[in-house]
Amino acid sequence: MIGLYRPGTSPIHRLPAGAKLILLVTTILAVAILVRTPSQVLAVAAGVVALFAVARIPAKIAVAQLRPVLWMLLIIGTFQLIITSWQRAVVVCGVLLISVALAALVTVTTRVTAMLDTVTRALGPLRRFGVDPERVGLMLALAIRCIPMLATIVHEVSEARKARGLQWSMTALATPVLVRALRTADAMGDALVARGVDDDWDEDDWDEDEWDDESV
């Protein structure tokens, strides 16, 4: 769900990143506390679908954001059916799916740099306690950049494993992924050191353009 920003001019796109993050947290908390029946789940879900429509996010992209959590929902739903009831299973899985959908909506309508700037400003008051907001922003940018990189590595190794007829071997997947991930981390660390990002790093070393959404 990271790095899939979709440019647009909808009211949701124009809403400031900070306001969207606050509304996201508030809405998820409200849904988790107040939604108690399957009918309420359907009503809130309809509202979320309407928000995606307002933001003009294609259904294919919206569904793609939810697909990674479907297996988890299946497991959770089965567990809830066994120990509680189908109504409770619908509520629990529905609330989780709604929460993921809302987070995805924020992701696809907000530039990563805008989010990072918001987090950096929010951490500003903590500077007096020794927190470096710019360094935290850099770490978040690196984490965001590394997630799709790691996903690409896993996909490439998985395809190579299948081509060798080793699709059922976990060792043939885990070992190359680990090696490539460590090599990528070393290369990234060398690049940061070469740019002077060390213990004396300050905000002047941050080049926001290099970490724009299109690069992640």
What's the CA gap between 24 and 7, in Å, rounded?
19
Containing H/E element for 66?
helix 59-66
Same domain flag for 104 and 122:
no
Last residue of a domain, one of 92, 110, 128: 110
Range of the domain at 136: 118-215
Q: Please indicate, yes or no, if residue 3 is contained in any of the structural domains.
A: no
Q: Please indicate, yes or no, if residue 5 is contained in any of the structural domains.
A: no
Last residue of a domain, one of 86, 110, 134: 110
Residue 147: its pLDDT value, please? 63
**Domains: count for the chain:** 2
Same domain flag for 91 and 142:
no
Task: Give 59's contacts (C-beta < 8 A, 6+ positions apart).
Answer: 52
Q: Please indicate, yes or no, if residue 2 is contained in any of the structural domains.
A: no
Q: Please indicate, yes or no, if residue 4 is contained in any of the structural domains.
A: no
Q: Please indicate, yes or no, if residue 157 is contained in any of the structural domains.
A: yes
Q: Please indicate, yes or no, if residue 1 is contained in any of the structural domains.
A: no
1-31 per-position pLDDT tens digit: 444 678 889 999 999 988 998 999 999 999 9
Last residue of a domain, one of 110, 129, 159: 110
Angle ∠(194,150,199) on CA atoms, nearest 5 = 30
85-133 per-position pLDDT tens digit: 999 999 999 999 999 899 889 888 988 788 778 878 888 888 888 877 7
